[in-house]
Homo-oligomer: A and B are copies of this chain.
């Protein structure tokens, strides 16, 4: 038996023994674990599952063991994911610690920074959020104005960030700040890590059209940053920040392991929902115009998923991937938005409820998921920005 087969057997056995039964049931929105000091667990199994997985480093399976990770190879990780998928085990914890700042520190952090921050991400002790956008710096991120002054021993940060996702739950924030106001806009930016547990940091949730408040405004008023929390070189933070954006886009577009399951599948796939709300006639969805939309979107999604797989295979087989993360971000979010719009059409007035008992919980969730989906083509670099990037970096079209 090969080592991988061995690994699979051991993993399967361990999961069967250690994954609590309730962690194999579908997760509702508020079952998703993000960790951090403020975390609460409505189901104690969730904490148990997190701790067990974290102890093996399997909350971050491919990170080095030295930093608390699982130290798995890509192949081993695929097996782990497969086996978790097999028993429908929930991902024990997710968040920007894992998808963004962790990978970025692995690329750009000092040994000291890795040792300080990564283990606390793995264990779920510290939850992170992202401080990039500002009211005047959205798509044009590099025009950010949050000021970071060198005070000798430490930095002092003043300014405002917006769209800091989950800031109300987070312990630390990674930010892009301006350290050199006179320099050209890309060259005076630094990447710093800020402890949010201090008086100089204030967080104010933003209510969205969906009624939820996943994002905040975060204000810095003489917030203090120790100098060892500068990542990369001073005034060279743009390089670090851009790399992190790639991790973000991979994550939004579902290129990471999240891609294994649809993002909006709370109610099942589009054909499932159509079968329920529209019904079949002679084996076909009864509304042929909607059926056409359903097949288009579903076929595009399948082609998209195949392309994600191809990208991974090309990477593994050593060829250069000839297409960019931006494509996945762009196509994935547009296809997802379209899917929700079709879902609305399928569900008719039953998909547009806001309050009242006339709608099931799933229907209420759909209305809000539809509205929230609109942010997928805005946040993390809008669709327009992704198309610009493809045109410039991949196609080489002139400015």
Q: Which residues of A does B touch, CB under 8 Å?
A: 288-289, 292
Distance in angstroms from A226 CB to nearest chain B CB is 45
This chain's copy number in the assembly: 2
CB contacts (< 8 Å) of A288 on chain B: these are: 288-289
CB contacts (< 8 Å) of A292 on chain B: these are: 289, 292
The residue of chain B having its C-beta at the shortest distance from the C-beta of A295 within the complex is B289
A interface secondary structure, majority:
helix
Q: How far apart sit A288 and B293, CA to CA, in the bound complex (Å)? A: 13
CB contacts (< 8 Å) of A289 on chain B: these are: 288, 292
4 closest A-B pairs by CB:
A288-B288, A289-B292, A292-B292, A288-B289
Distance in angstroms from A239 CB to nearest chain B CB is 32
Q: How far apart sit A288 and B289, CA to CA, in the bound complex (Å)? A: 7
Distance in angstroms from A296 CB to nearest chain B CB is 10
Distance in angstroms from A360 CB to nearest chain B CB is 30
Name 4 A/B residue pairs within 8 A (Cβ), A-sorted. Answer: A288-B288, A288-B289, A289-B292, A292-B292
The residue of chain B having its C-beta at the shortest distance from the C-beta of A292 within the complex is B289
The residue of chain B having its C-beta at the shortest distance from the C-beta of A289 within the complex is B292
Distance in angstroms from A274 CB to nearest chain B CB is 16
Distance in angstroms from A34 CB to nearest chain B CB is 42
Q: How far apart sit A292 and B289, CA to CA, in the bound complex (Å)? A: 7
Q: How far apart sit A292 and B288, CA to CA, in the bound complex (Å)? A: 10
Q: How far apart sit A237 and B267, CA to CA, in the bound complex (Å)? A: 65
Distance in angstroms from A299 CB to nearest chain B CB is 14
Q: How far apart sit A188 and B42, CA to CA, in the bound complex (Å)? A: 78
Q: How far apart sit A289 and B288, CA to CA, in the bound complex (Å)? A: 7
Q: How far apart sit A289 and B291, CA to CA, in the bound complex (Å)? A: 10
Q: How far apart sit A289 and B296, CA to CA, in the bound complex (Å)? A: 12
Q: How far apart sit A292 and B292, CA to CA, in the bound complex (Å)? A: 10
Distance in angstroms from A308 CB to nearest chain B CB is 29
The residue of chain B having its C-beta at the shortest distance from the C-beta of A287 within the complex is B288
Q: How far apart sit A138 and B240, CA to CA, in the bound complex (Å)? A: 44
Distance in angstroms from A12 CB to nearest chain B CB is 46
Distance in angstroms from A294 CB to nearest chain B CB is 12
Q: How far apart sit A289 and B292, CA to CA, in the bound complex (Å)? A: 7
Q: How far apart sit A390 and B221, CA to CA, in the bound complex (Å)? A: 46
Q: How far apart sit A288 and B288, CA to CA, in the bound complex (Å)? A: 7
